[in-house]
Amino acid sequence: MDFNLFMNDVVDAARKDIVEAGYEELKEPEEVDAALSREGTTLVMVNSTCGCAGGVARPAAANSIHFDKRPDHLVTVFAGQDREATEKAREYFEGYAPSSPSFALLKDGKIMKMIERHDIEGYSPVEVTGKLQQLFDEYCEEV
């Protein structure tokens, strides 16, 4: 099997997982600026093809939003795939080093907090879901 075809399948599946969970995919820097400058709370999932993204981060992203409090907007960028969009998103994550997979919670375009790769890798999806829901409890409104 051709490696590039295999990786395309992996990337397509990773994109599909997060979009089906209800996240808006941002592929261009202009889309990132428009989405991250919106009023309210926005959760950004920085997607990737690594094992902890598929085994932990994406399941946590999907499950965490079934909570009394949740962000107004759910978006995703794909590290290593949509490079310019990911770089633009990371400009909003002031004070945090690039990390993928990761989650950033913004309010009115300003970073509130991040859950970085080291907060994901080695943890279960349930534990990361709990970390996300703690952020929602602190920064988001009840839906």
Question: Which residues have a Cβ under 8 Å from the Cβ of 75 and sit 6 or more positions away?
Answer: 23, 24, 25, 26, 35, 36, 42, 43, 44, 45
CA distances from 2 to 6, 29, 40, 111 (A): 6, 30, 44, 40
SS3 of residue 44 by DSSP: strand
Q: Choosing from 26, 43, 44, 50, which is the catalytic residue?
A: 50
CA–CA gap between residue 103 and residue 93 (Å, rounded): 10
Dihedral angle over CA of 108, 93, 36, 42, nearest 10: -70
Task: Assess whether 52 carries a catalytic annotation.
Answer: yes
Question: 140 an active-site residue?
Answer: no
Q: How far is CA 122 from the centre of its chain?
A: 18
Helix (H/G/I), strand (E/B), else coil: 35 = helix
- The catalytically annotated residue of 35, 43, 52, 56 is 52
Q: Write out the catalytic residue numbers.
A: 50, 52
